[in-house]
Amino acid sequence: MSIHPNIKKIRADFPILETSVRGKPLIYLDNAATTQKPRQVIERIQKYYQEENANIHRGVHYLSERATIAYENTRKKVQKFIGAESPKEIVFTRGTTEGINLVAQTFGRLRVKAGDQILISEMEHHSNIVPWQLLCEQVGATLNVIPFDFKGELMEAEFDRQIERYAENIKLIALTHVSNALGTINPVERLIQKAHAEEIPVLLDGAQAVPHLPVDVKKLDCDFYVFSAHKIYGPTGVGVLYAKKQWLEEMPPYQGGGDMISSVTFKKTTYNEVPYKFEAGTPNIEGVIALEAALDYVSSLGLEKIAAHEMALLKQLEQAVQADAKLKEFVRPVGTAKEKAAVYSFTLGDIHPHDAGTILDRMGIAVRGGHHCAQPVMDHFGIPGTLRASFAVYNTPEEVNALVTGLHQVLEVFK
């Protein structure tokens, strides 16, 4: 089992893991929803407010200069972390959702017209469905969907058929890199190559990928890539939109005011250069600065080691269920793709996920129960939702064992 060699030290970095829940030690297995924050991130936020608090880009005084440098250093760090060509290709947003909406209402409104199509998959998070539905309603376009199979793997033959049949009409393809509800890792590099052969731009929702996989946007050659800081041990309210500079130059502003302007008169406003053209108003300065601390933390542990650690825990849970006659009878995994991240979604007989999750909470175990903002995925399987255990670098084999014990107690309650 490939458990991270520094697991004890890692757990000590996360103060919240010392919490007791109803007299039991906290076992936090809801990391696909949000990760906990290490001291390094918490202390960086505190340092900003104690030593650097000022607005950025506009002031010439000492504090503003310090805050601006720290803020822009994060942009450079993100650029290197995801392999972008230039920091000018990095736009800070409030999260993955805002990044997708920004692309829909700028790039989309500019290029998608009545009769055109946008292509997404059946396994998308609501955040990568609803913005495209809104755009299609606004301009008279059509939203087409690529299905997935019983394992939760994208049906690539259907993707090929859609491309072959509608290439001239498809103006954008928007896909999840890793499914939040199934854990499926999509073959995005291959799909992008096929799309680009027909000159179709591609947006990737990387919210669940960046914390677990090395991401190189240049190698992927995606046109847009979005993710959230809070999924990768950073603060909430901060996200990243990567976009090729040619698209950012072409896209109109998303919001008006503040930093996105170069000059304003009552007759005409000229806009700032990219990426600032898309960053109106005072941003979440401390959150962006703390994102750098989060990325430094992940890099210090090694993303490959983190991924191996999480996958070892996933394998442990899968094997424990298979080896347990009672659990094997009732547990039905949902999402069994060959290539997947450390997410274990499952049903437990006819017990509603919310009921099972509530009982586990009484034992201090935090899992997610519900549709995970992916209702079409649940409709595909004909279920109201799943229980979902999702792993992070601070989880342990002992916590997996506790979950297995907890599932037995849930079954006992509902026997």
Return the axis-axis angle of helices 285-301 and 62-82, rounded to nearest 10°: 40
Report the Cα 118 to chain-centroid distance in Å: 21
Structure tokens given for 110:
């500019």
Q: How far apart are CA 90 and CA 75, in angstroms?
A: 6
The C-alpha atoms of residue 309 and residue 31 are separated, in whole angstroms, by 14
What are the DSSP E strand ranges found in 84-222?
90-93, 117-121, 142-146, 170-176, 202-205
What is the token pair recorded at 312?
A: 């070892």
Please pick, among 17, 21, 145, 373, the residue that the annotation labels catalytic.
Answer: 373
Other C-beta atoms lying within 10 Å of the C-beta of residue 6: 16
Residue 67 and residue 74 in contact, taking contact as beta carbons nearer than 8 Å = no
In the residue annotation, 136 being an active-site residue is answered as no
Which residue shows structure tokens 């677990």?
212
* Measured distance CA(94)–CA(239) in Å, rounded: 5
- Given a contact cutoff of 8 angstroms between Cβ atoms, the answer to whether 92 and 240 are in contact is yes
Report how far Cα 339 is from the mean position of its chain's Cα atoms: 17
CA distance 323 to 286: 47
The token pair at 183 is 């854990």
Q: Say which residues have a Cβ less than 8 Å from residue 153's Cβ, sequence separation at least 6.
A: 184, 337, 338
Q: Which amino acid is at 50?
A: Q
What dihedral angle (degrees, nearest 10) is formed by the CA atoms of 292, 207, 13, 401? -170
Q: Report d(CA 314, CA 335) in Å as an integer.
A: 13
Compute the distance between CA of residue 315 and CA of residue 55 in angstroms, rounded to an integer: 47
ω before 283 within 30° of 0 (cis)? no
Instruction: List, by residue number, the catalytic residues.
Output: 373
